């Protein structure tokens, strides 16, 4: 796919509604093979927007970026302090999502670089997400052997931890 020019900037309060829509769409695109259609139907862009309003106000140690193409948000990423008791690194990539139509354009890399830079970081990713695993491998991440089952809207997604 061709490289597409995107603007990557910090998330703003006024982005909550658009981020909620994009987040819900990305979860449908990413997890449709891992959880039931009924579970994904529970996703509400409005509810996701409410979560974004909460996430935006976490403090200065938390960074969140949005990628925009032609003024519209197409993806986002967030990083902050490690949440695990046995954290292998001080920073954790909490999320990075990009609308499927923009995969392979370089925008995901721009988001990742904005959120994580070159800092030692770790993340959790669905074990059955080969595209994400390839992206993280290209960015220097490797499994450290940790795994868990993450609750997801009343179901469970098996995740593995990757570290760089």
Question: Percent of the chain beyond pLDDT 90?
Answer: 63
Residue 9: pLDDT over 70: yes
Which pLDDT band holds residue 132 (cuts at 50, 70, 90)?
very high
pTM score:
0.90
**Containing domain of residue 78, as a range?**
7-163
Which pLDDT band holds residue 100 (cuts at 50, 70, 90)?
very high
Give the strand order in the sheet containing 121-126.
Answer: 7-10, 63-69, 72-81, 91-98, 121-126, 155-163, 142-152
Flag whether 134 is in a domain.
Answer: yes
d(CA 164, CA 149): 22
Which segment of 32-36, 113-117, 155-159 scores lowest on mean pLDDT? Answer: 32-36
Flag whether 12 is in a domain.
Answer: yes
Query: In this predicted model, what pLDDT tens digit does every residue of 30-87 receive, in sequence order?
Result: 888 888 877 777 777 777 777 777 777 777 788 999 999 999 999 999 999 999 999 9
Flag whether 82 is in a domain.
Answer: yes
Instruction: Give the DSSP letter of residue 164.
Output: -
d(CA 153, CA 61): 27
Flag whether 2 is in a domain.
Answer: no
List own/partner pairs for 105-108 with CB under 8 A and 24 or more apart: 105/1, 105/2, 105/3, 105/4, 105/6, 106/3, 106/4, 106/6, 107/4, 107/6, 107/8, 107/67, 107/69, 107/74, 107/75, 108/75, 108/135
The total of structural domains in the chain comes to: 1
Flag whether 1 is in a domain.
Answer: no
CATH number, domain at 153?
3.40.630.30
Residue 131: pLDDT over 80: yes
Flag whether 92 is in a domain.
Answer: yes
pLDDT at position 105: 95
- Token pair listed for 15: 């982005």
Flag whether 22 is in a domain.
Answer: yes
Q: How far is CA 10 from CA 62, 69, 72, 136, in A?
A: 11, 14, 14, 22
pLDDT at position 13: 85
């Amino acid at each position: 796919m061709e490289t597409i020019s995107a603007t990557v900037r910090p998330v703003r309060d006024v982005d909550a509604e658009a981020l909620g829509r994009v987040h819900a769409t990305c979860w449908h695109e990413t997890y449709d093979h891992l959880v039931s259609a009924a579970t994904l139907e529970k996703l509400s862009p409005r509810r996701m927007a409410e979560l974004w309003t909460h996430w935006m106000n976490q403090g200065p140690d938390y960074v969140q970026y949005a990628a925009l193409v032609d003024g519209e948000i197409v993806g986002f990423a967030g990083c902050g302090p490690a949440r695990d008791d046995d954290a292998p690194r001080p920073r954790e990539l909490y999320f990075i999502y990009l609308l499927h139509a923009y995969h392979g354009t370089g925008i995901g890399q721009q988001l990742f670089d904005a959120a994580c830079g070159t800092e030692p970081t770790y993340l959790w990713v669905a074990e059955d997400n080969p595209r994400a695993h390839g992206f993280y491998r290209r960015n220097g991440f490797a499994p450290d052997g940790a795994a868990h089952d993450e609750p997801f809207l009343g179901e469970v997604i098996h995740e593995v931890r990757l570290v760089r």
